[in-house]
Amino acid sequence: MVNFSRDGFDFLPGALIEIDLSSRLVIYMNRIAFSLFEHTQTDIESGLPLRNIFFTESEYERSIKVAESFGLENYQNRTAYTRYEKQDLYDFMMRRKDGSQFYAECQGSFVLDDNLVPIGARIYIRDLSEQRILEAKHLENEEKYRTLVENSSDIIFLIDNLGTVISVNQATTKYLGRKTAEIEGLNIKDLFPTLTAETFMGYLNKSLLSGKRMTYETPMPTSNKSIWVSTTINPVRDRAGNVTALLGVSRDITELKRSEEQLEKALIEARNANKVKDQFIANISHEIRTPLTTITGFAGRLKQSLGNNLKPAEEDFFKFINNSSTRLLKTLDAIINISELEAGTLQLAPRLNHLGQLVGLVCEKLQVEASGKGLGLIYSSVTEDDEAWYDQQSIYQVLNNLIQNAIKYTDAGRVTVKLDRVKNQLTLTISDTGIGISEEYRQRMFQVFSQESEGLAKEYQGIGLGLALTKRYLDMNNVNIKVESKKGQGSVFTLDFPESSGAVII
């Protein structure tokens, strides 16, 4: 399917849908279209055929003929579309998700690819249901008017300027639990409780006095329950222009109201949870860093005071203290960093840097760690053109994570780091002779808190944030990562850096 730019479509005053010409599926609806057709994003993602939004097959076929007359052959022949005259307005009987029908005024336009060949269509839709009802009152064909009104799932009523009901449709009788003859001729005050009737009459009088269309939302009691309705009042005028009656259309929006309440509740809970999380992270950072600083500081002074009196076993004690403190601080930093990424508060400063210098710095820093395990850490650069756009701090963290992981999961052999420029693409390769990665774990290795070895029996330290942070940092710098690995045969991580200033600042 095609993907079109839709910036601002949700703020259009009318309904808009998009069609993929190759599949004839509806691939997008804006906010008003979702409300009009009563479909959901899930319906779109599941595949919503274009024919399903037309009330009959003949209406659908007529829409295709309209498209053909306006230049659909350009799509079929894969030729450039050169006609830009404004397309006429066409009326169609369309279908909501529940099967009910409504009149719509449609105007379409093609979406073109870079070669000006049509690949999709946009249809602008205006609901003419209320307008058609008003027009039908002046038509001699009463049957056509009744067909439109009676098949509507909305409550449709006509009242005079005193609030007396002149006419209602079948949906009204269904909601109120009364027959047509039991409703027509009654005053609004006789149909509803006092408070509801006064609310209705207040809006009706405003529309009568102003002569303008008015929409409002209010609860309304029905035969078995109370519902929320959105009611639109349209003044009906005589030939002299005087308002003689009011046509009302009420739609049941109870589920929408319930969804809004649930959404508001969820937003409040999310805000509260986010505040709790931020406060927790701030507190945990302080509560862990402060005592750790004290522990490492006094441990260092104690070791210094013992001097030559320090026994070999005691030397190991201080080493354990330092390693454990470093491990805990590293874990804390990872948690804080991933929280900043999730919150979108991390700021990058991408610029043109020499990548070779940064890689060399990281390898030099980790050389001691590799030597301590008897591993070779080999870095080579086979290109002098090593400039790339990236944020230095985040890419430093990426390199440190990946090379340190290679050392961590390699028990014998070497870790090789190579910088090269292939087809004008600056590429960094980190390969090792370590334990490798299973195919199953490669599918989730960049997920937060994901580790191949988990539980109390896991073989390696860590809480599964390093690779998750690495992937987020790379994405923010527009750096692509590829992983090749087999269990027991080592791993190869390849980073492809952007050719120009493509890093994203967030």
pTM of the model: 0.41
- N residues, the chain: 506
164 within 8 A of 200, measured Cβ to Cβ? no
pLDDT surpassing 70 at residue 131: yes
pLDDT band at residue 403 using 50, 70 and 90 as cut-offs = very high
Residue 199 has a CB neighbour count (10 Å cut-off) of: 17
> How much is the pLDDT for 176?
87
Sheet with 118-127: list strands edge to edge: 48-49, 25-29, 15-20, 118-127, 101-112, 90-95
CA–CA dist 436, 434 (Å, integer): 6
Give Cβ neighbours of residue 277 (< 8 Å, ≥ 6 apart). Answer: 339
Strand partners, 243: 237
CA–CA dist 317, 203 (Å, integer): 81
Q: What is the mean pLDDT of the chain?
A: 82
pLDDT surpassing 50 at residue 394: yes
30 within 8 A of 12, measured Cβ to Cβ? yes
The one-letter amino acid at 264: E
pLDDT band at residue 40 using 50, 70 and 90 as cut-offs = very high
CA–CA dist 236, 155 (Å, integer): 17
CA–CA dist 198, 193 (Å, integer): 9
> How much is the pLDDT for 464?
61
Tens digits of residue pLDDT in 322-365: 767 666 666 666 666 666 666 666 678 888 989 999 999 999 99
73 within 8 A of 111, measured Cβ to Cβ? no
pLDDT band at residue 42 using 50, 70 and 90 as cut-offs = very high
What mean pLDDT comes out for the span 274-280?
Answer: 64
CA–CA dist 181, 188 (Å, integer): 15
User: DSSP 3-state assignment of 347?
Assistant: coil
> How much is the pLDDT for 52?
94
pLDDT surpassing 90 at residue 380: yes
Give Cβ neighbours of residue 418 (< 8 Å, ≥ 6 apart). Answer: 379, 380, 381, 382, 428, 429, 431
What mean pLDDT comes out for the span 256-273?
Answer: 80
Tens digits of residue pLDDT in 55-78: 999 999 999 998 888 888 888 889
Tens digits of residue pLDDT in 10-26: 878 789 999 999 999 99
> How much is the pLDDT for 145?
58
CA distances from 239 to 137, 165, 210 (A): 13, 21, 18
pLDDT surpassing 80 at residue 133: no
> How much is the pLDDT for 23?
92
Phi, psi dihedral angles at 95 (to 5 degrees): -125, 135
Tens digits of residue pLDDT in 285-299: 656 667 777 777 777
pLDDT band at residue 94 using 50, 70 and 90 as cut-offs = very high
The CA-based diameter of the chain, rounded to the nearest angstrom, is 113
Q: Kindly state the tokens that stand for 215.
A: 């929409």
Using the structure block, give the residue that is written with the tokens 């009149």.
103
Tens digits of residue pLDDT in 187-223: 988 888 888 888 888 888 888 888 888 888 888 888 7
Nearest to 391 by CA among 296, 463, 497: 497
pLDDT surpassing 70 at residue 452: no
CA–CA dist 288, 102 (Å, integer): 64
CA distances from 96 to 14, 56, 99, 171, 364 (A): 16, 12, 5, 16, 66
> How much is the pLDDT for 9?
82
CA–CA dist 249, 100 (Å, integer): 15
> How much is the pLDDT for 281?
63
What mean pLDDT comes out for the span 300-316?
Answer: 73
Tens digits of residue pLDDT in 147-164: 666 677 788 888 888 889
CA–CA dist 161, 211 (Å, integer): 11
CA distances from 193 to 147, 176, 202, 215, 226 (A): 31, 12, 14, 21, 12
pLDDT surpassing 70 at residue 410: yes
| 134-148, 227-241, 474-488: the lowest-pLDDT one | 134-148
> How much is the pLDDT for 374?
92
> How much is the pLDDT for 441?
79
CA–CA dist 174, 170 (Å, integer): 6
What mean pLDDT comes out for the span 447-455?
Answer: 59
pLDDT surpassing 80 at residue 183: yes
Going through 238-384 in order, the beta strands assigned E by DSSP cover 243-252, 351-354, 376-381
CA–CA dist 350, 501 (Å, integer): 8
